[in-house]
C-alpha cells in the first residue's frame, strides 16, 4: 500500500506538463441532470482532492455527519509549502439550493514540535482569510479563498481503474464499477421518519461507448437464479414515459433505475433517478428522486 500512496502523491505533485488541464479546452464537468431546489447527493466524497488548474495544490477532505474537516495544501508566493486547516458544517445555501457549501476561516499553525522533539505549544497565527468550498456533485467542487478565482477540485480515484467513457461530452473520469455493491433506499414516510431497504449484487457493465454506457446489478441466490433489479445507464434522452426529465437533449444523461415500494403507490414500482456524472464515484453512487424524495445510495463492498 505504501508504494500506491507514494505513486498518488508523486502524481499529485507532478509538474504541469504531466497533468492535462482538460477543463480549459474540453467539455468540462457539467452538472448534467441536476435540479434547482436540492442537491442530488447526500455528502461529498471523503478523499484527497486535487486542483485541476494547479498541480501540486489540493485538499484533504473528511466528512462526518454533515460536518467537514478540510486541509488545504498549497504554496507561498516564494514557492514554499503551505497548509491551512478549515472546518465547518455542510449547508444547503439559500442562493444555490442545489449545492452544498462550507464557509470557514482558514487556520494557520506554526512553530509546533518536530517529529522526535520535545513538545512545545504551536502558535496559532491570525486567519489569512475565508475558505469557500462548494460542491455541485459528490465528486466535483470549487474552492476559493476570499474573493480569489475559484479552483476546480476533483478527488483522486484510487484502487480501481477509470476511463473517460463520454469523452465528447465530459472530461469526467468514470471509475471501473464492476464489483459487489449494496444499494440502500431511504424512503420518506408520512410521519417524517425514513424506511430503509437494501439489496446486494454484482454490478457488471454491458456496454461502453462514447454515446452510451450501461451497468446492471445482478442479484443471485443460486447459480441458476440471477436477475436484474437495479440498472445504471448513460445515454441520450430515451423519453421515459411519465418521467419528469430534468436532463437536456444535447448530451448523454445518466440514470439509476430501481424498484421501490412507496406508500400509496403500486407495489414494485420502478423509479428513475437522475444521476449527474460526478455523482458516480469509485466507492459510492448517489441519487435523489426529485418527485418522491427517495434517496438511493450505492456502496461498493471491500473498497474502503
First to last CA, the chain: 13
Of 121, 155, 189, which closes a domain? 155
Of 155, 185, 203, which closes a domain? 155
Do both 255 and 119 map to the same domain?
no
Any idea which residue has 445510495 for its cell? 297
pLDDT at 25: 40
Any idea which residue has 449547508 for its cell? 91
Of 155, 189, 218, which closes a domain? 155
| pLDDT tens digits along 197-213 | 998 888 888 776 666 77
Do both 120 and 188 map to the same domain?
no
Do both 258 and 233 map to the same domain?
yes
pTM listed for this prediction: 0.82
pLDDT at 227: 52
Tell me which residue range forms the domain holding 15: 2-155
**pLDDT by residue, tens only, the chain of 304 residues:** 433 434 333 334 333 222 333 333 447 898 888 888 889 898 999 999 999 888 889 999 999 999 999 999 998 889 888 899 999 999 999 999 999 999 999 999 888 888 899 999 988 888 889 999 999 999 999 999 999 999 999 999 988 999 988 888 889 999 999 999 999 999 999 899 999 999 888 888 877 666 677 887 776 544 444 455 788 888 776 555 455 555 556 778 888 989 898 888 888 888 989 899 999 999 999 999 988 999 999 999 988 6
b/e burial code for range 265-275 (CB count within 10 A of at least 16 → b): eeeeeebbbbb
| pLDDT tens digits along 225-272 | 445 578 888 877 655 545 555 555 677 888 898 989 888 888 888 898
Look at the chain and report how many structural domains it folds into. 2
Do both 86 and 56 map to the same domain?
yes
Amino acid at each position: 500500500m505504501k508504494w500506491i500512496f507514494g505513486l498518488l502523491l508523486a502524481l499529485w505533485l507532478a509538474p504541469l506538463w504531466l497533468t492535462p488541464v482538460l477543463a480549459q479546452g474540453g467539455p468540462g464537468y457539467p452538472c448534467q441532470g441536476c435540479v434547482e431546489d436540492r442537491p442530488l447527493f447526500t455528502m461529498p466524497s471523503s478523499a484527497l482532492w486535487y486542483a485541476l488548474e494547479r498541480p501540486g495544490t489540493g485538499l484533504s477532505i473528511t466528512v462526518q455527519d454533515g460536518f467537514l474537516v478540510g486541509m488545504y495544501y498549497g504554496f507561498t508566493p516564494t514557492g514554499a509549502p503551505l497548509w491551512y486547516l478549515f472546518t465547518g458544517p455542510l449547508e444547503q445555501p439559500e442562493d444555490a439550493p442545489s449545492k452544498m457549501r462550507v464557509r470557514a476561516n482558514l487556520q494557520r499553525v506554526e512553530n509546533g514540535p518536530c517529529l522526535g522533539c520535545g513538545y512545545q505549544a504551536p502558535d496559532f497565527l491570525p486567519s489569512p482569510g475565508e475558505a469557500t468550498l462548494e460542491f455541485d456533485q459528490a465528486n466535483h467542487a470549487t474552492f476559493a479563498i476570499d474573493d480569489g478565482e475559484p479552483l476546480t477540485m476533483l478527488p483522486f480515484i484510487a484502487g480501481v481503474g477509470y476511463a473517460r467513457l463520454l469523452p465528447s461530452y465530459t472530461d469526467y473520469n468514470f471509475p471501473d464499477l464492476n464489483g459487489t455493491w449494496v444499494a440502500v433506499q431511504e424512503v420518506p414516510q408520512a410521519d417524517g421518519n425514513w424506511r430503509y431497504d437494501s439489496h446486494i449484487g454484482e454490478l457488471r457493465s454491458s456496454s461502453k461507448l462514447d454515446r452510451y454506457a450501461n451497468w446492471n446489478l445482478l442479484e443471485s441466490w443460486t447459480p441458476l437464479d440471477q436477475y436484474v433489479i437495479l440498472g445504471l445507464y448513460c445515454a441520450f434522452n430515451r423519453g421515459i414515459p411519465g418521467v419528469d426529465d430534468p436532463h437536456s437533449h444535447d448530451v448523454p444523461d445518466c440514470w439509476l433505475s430501481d424498484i421501490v415500494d412507496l406508500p400509496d403507490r403500486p407495489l414494485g414500482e420502478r423509479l428513475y433517478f437522475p444521476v449527474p456524472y460526478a455523482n458516480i464515484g469509485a466507492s459510492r453512487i448517489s441519487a435523489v428522486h426529485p418527485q418522491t424524495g427517495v434517496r438511493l445510495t450505492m456502496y461498493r463492498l471491500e473498497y474502503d
